[in-house]
A = this chain, B = another copy of it.
């Protein structure tokens, strides 16, 4: 829990009361490797904070699993579309390692917004940061070659390459596993 609150300070400094209120709404979860946090088709009603472990979000495209993001320590995790719209999730989220998470329900969170303005502010700021992160990812994904994308991943997120099977990384980069293997051979 300390880790979560330490991380929140990167976004906004909460008052003691807000922290206590927030703390009461979180529940700890421990899940083994390969377990699902969210399954396609179910509505996701929680936001998670990943304290320890790593996981991937993926969806099905013509029977193929497309991994479109990874989550690591200190990431906020949810199926955002489902969480926001209350519609069934189109993606699944699966643990790639055994992990520890903190969960907060959407009702609890929106309840807090009314009682603690600062918590809503915190969440707004988190969204802003996540938005620009996604924007960057979008530009990289669409307008760079596979090799450039891999090299950038190597530089910026070497932890991904160390902890994640090649097949998932290839999918994440939008290329086939064979192509990624050849890129690696060349470097």
User: For window 90-145 of chain A, which residues contact chain B by CB distance below 8 Å?
Assistant: 113, 117, 120-121, 123-124, 127-132, 134-139, 141-143
Q: Does A187 contact B (CB under 8 A)?
A: no
Give the chain B neighbours of A127 by CB distance below 8 A.
124, 127-128, 131
Query: Given the complex of chains A and B, what is the CA–CA distance between A174 and B149 in angstroms?
Result: 15
| Nearest residue, chain B, Cβ from A149 | B142
**Contact between chains at A142 and B143 (CB < 8 Å):** no
Number of copies: 2
Q: Does A84 contact B (CB under 8 A)?
A: yes
Q: Does A77 contact B (CB under 8 A)?
A: no
Interface range on chain A (Cβ under 8 Å from partner): 20 to 34
Query: Given the complex of chains A and B, what is the CA–CA distance between A184 and B135 in angstroms?
Result: 28
Given contacts A120-B117, A127-B124, A138-B138, contact A132 B85 (CB under 8 A): yes
Query: Given the complex of chains A and B, what is the CA–CA distance between A127 and B143 in angstroms?
Result: 24
4 closest pairs, A vs B, by CB?
A124-B124, A127-B127, A142-B174, A141-B142
Other than the given A68-B142, A68-B143, A127-B131, 9 more pairs (CB < 8 A) read A61-B143, A66-B143, A68-B139, A80-B128, A80-B135, A81-B132, A81-B135, A81-B136, A131-B134
Interface, chain A (partner B; CB < 8 A) = 59, 61, 66, 68, 80-81, 84-85, 113, 117, 120-121, 123-124, 127-132, 134-139, 141-143, 174
